[in-house]
Amino acid sequence: MLLSSESHAQLGRAVRQVIVSQAPSWDAHTATMQCYQRASAGAPWQAVFEKPIPVLLGKKGLAWGRGVFSPPQNGIPPKVEKDWRAPAGVFQLGSLFGYAPTPPGGARWPYIQVGPWDAYVDDSTLPQYYNRHIRIDPSQGIPPWFEKQKMRLGDAAYKWMLEIRHNQNPSAPGYGSAIFFHVRRGPDKPSAGCTTMAEGDLTRLLRWLDPSASPHYVLLPKADYAALRGAWGLP
């Protein structure tokens, strides 16, 4: 377990929305998610949903991600590409992607419709594009890497994809990429590292998010969350 004295990270005063997922252990592929909001920096956190939402994580559990702080040294390895682990820590949110022309009704989050020339690169041999959304111009030629990196796959699990900003400040090739909230593939089918849930639950989450509230995502095992809660200013 990580002791709170080992870390200096905590949520900034501008953060008024937090998504929190707690897993039973570092090796678990399941977790429960609750959203919290506060009226101001000094106000108490209030739970948003009546009951926590079940979510699925990476097939092999969690590893320390690269978020808004440097992961502490507690014996848990960092996330690396294709380790089948979800990144643990505190993360900003990026863009919302989807197949439809518009996001779910009521959603206010910046939205990008995924078209035939959109890619999200998980190939660490392409450092200039790694862990980024890229839209190519086919009139300028289709690069050889595009076919394996394209986003529009006709996959129902990717109907909506909200970017979890792991390993983006800056990006370090090989430390994990393409981490999202997206629709689960089944009630107990883990992901490769994303946080997934039933489509209805994801839609509720997207409608709640307020860009002006600087929402962040916290993912930790329960014991580590309890140890870090006070130092990090978590709900």
46-47 and 30-37 beta bridge pairing: antiparallel
Q: Hey, what amino acid is at 125?
A: T
Residue 175 in this model has a pLDDT that exceeds 80: yes
Return mean pLDDT, the chain.
Answer: 93
Q: In terms of pLDDT, which residue wins out, 232 or 107?
A: 107
Q: What is the mean pLDDT of residues 180-201?
A: 97
Comparing 181 with 10, the larger pLDDT belongs to: 181
Q: Please give the average per-residue pLDDT across 165-175, as a whole number.
A: 95
CA angle 178, 69, 2 (to 5 degrees): 105
Kindly report, residue by residue over 48-100, the tens digit of the pLDDT: 999 999 999 999 999 999 999 877 778 999 999 999 999 999 999 999 999 99
Integer Cα distance of 38 and 31 in angstroms = 23
Q: Is the pLDDT of residue 4 over 70?
A: no
pLDDT at 10: 72
CA dist 94 and 161 (Å) reads: 10
183-209 mean pLDDT: 97
Distance, C-alpha 19 to centroid of its chain: 10
Q: What is the mean pLDDT of residues 196-201?
A: 98
**Helix, strand, coil tally for the chain in percent (to 5):** 15, 30, 55
Give ∠ CA 160-161-167 in degrees, rounded to 5. 175
pLDDT at residue 9, as a whole number: 56
Pairing between β-strand 86-98 and β-strand 62-64 as defined by DSSP bridges: parallel
pLDDT for res 49: 97
Phi first, then psi: give them for residue 212, nearest 5 degrees.
Answer: -75, -10
